[in-house]
Amino acid sequence: MNQAKAAFRSLFDVAGEVLVAGGVTEKPAAARAMAAAFARGELRIDDDATLPEPIRMPGRPSRPRLVHPRELPRRGFGSPAGRAAFIHAVAHIEFNAIDLACDAIYRFRDMPRAFYADWVQVADDEARHFTMLRARLQDFGHDYGDFDAHNGLWEMAEKTAHDGLARMALVPRVLEARGLDVTPGMIAKLKGLGDEETAGILEVILREEIAHVAAGSRWYRWYCERAGVEPRSRFRELLREYAGGVLHGPFNTEARLMAGFDADELQSLCDAAEAAGA
């Protein structure tokens, strides 16, 4: 490694610092600073890095309290408190998504530069999404941490820490892709209530999340090609192995096709969701 390259910080180290950052302002700011430094060419990608032990639990603020999803109350949009709880739930997903993108960078080494470029961009987008949602939540007199939340997204990251192929199949393409299915309906409801500002934030998120899920599709197929694995049949196997109880239809076919799914995979999702609900 030449001296000029050695002077730069390791992208893996910086992504790890974002993961362990616990502050509600600190983590998104660190993710955005990482993306800016990467864009300036100031972060090196070590080609001799050894695989790290996975970070079992990223840094988190003291709140929200994490509970089982069944313990989260269902609230309608009709009251300001209900809408604040909804915005908080989406903000929590985006906060977790910062960690998921950074963990993909930190955990999976010896990947093409384009892999890291994709997940750095995702981390930057998720940090920006969270910041927008937090500001909107404050408009309702609340802040992040005021409502309970769950830890389902990070639990799947732990389950797939050993396998990049499974991670790309299940986190972007199953858990995060759920937003593609439900967000259009949420936008319509918010507009019906006259809440154009929150709806506008969700429109930005929906548009950019399609690209995030597409990155998962792209790297899932890359992993399959490298391993000599047929991607459609392996996707079905992974859904059976990991996704019981987390798949719910109906699915947004148009958005998922834009995000790199094909008709066979969409049918696998429908079949898995039906089997889980049987």
- Please state, in angstroms and rounded to a whole number, the distance separating the CA atoms of residues 278 and 267: 16
Question: Of 225, 172, 99, 121, whose CA–CA distance to 113 is shortest?
Answer: 121
Q: What is the mean pLDDT of each run of 10 residues along the chain (278 residues)?
A: 62 96 97 98 85 84 88 81 94 96 94 97 98 98 95 88 94 94 95 96 97 97 97 93 82 95 92 75
The count of structural domains within the chain is 1
Q: Which domain holds residue 250?
A: 77-277
CA separation (Å) from 142 to 22, 65, 271? 19, 15, 40
> Tokens for 8?
């730069």
The answer to whether residue 71 sits within a structural domain is no
Q: Which two tokens stand for residue 213?
A: 């899920």
173 neighbors 217 (Cβ within 8 angstroms): yes
For residue 16, tell me if it sits in a domain. Answer: no
- Given this model, what pLDDT does residue 232 score? 94
What's residue 277's pLDDT?
Answer: 64
8 A C-beta contact, residue 213 and residue 180: yes
- Its pTM stands at 0.93
Closest CA to 109 of 156, 205, 22, 45: 45
46 in a structural domain: no
- pLDDT at residue 3, rounded to an integer: 43
Domain presence at residue 178: yes
Written as six digits, the tokens of 109 are: 């080494």
**106 found inside a domain:** yes
CATH label of the domain that carries residue 182: 1.20.1260
Is 25 inside any structural domain? Answer: no
Answer whether 30's CB lies under 8 Å from 102's CB.
Answer: no
Residue 216: both structure tokens together: 């998962």
Burial grade of 98 (CB within 10 A; 0-12, 13-18, 19 or more): buried
**215 within some domain:** yes
- Asked whether residue 9 is assigned to any structural domain, the reply reads no
Torsion sign across C-alpha atoms 17, 20, 22, 28: positive
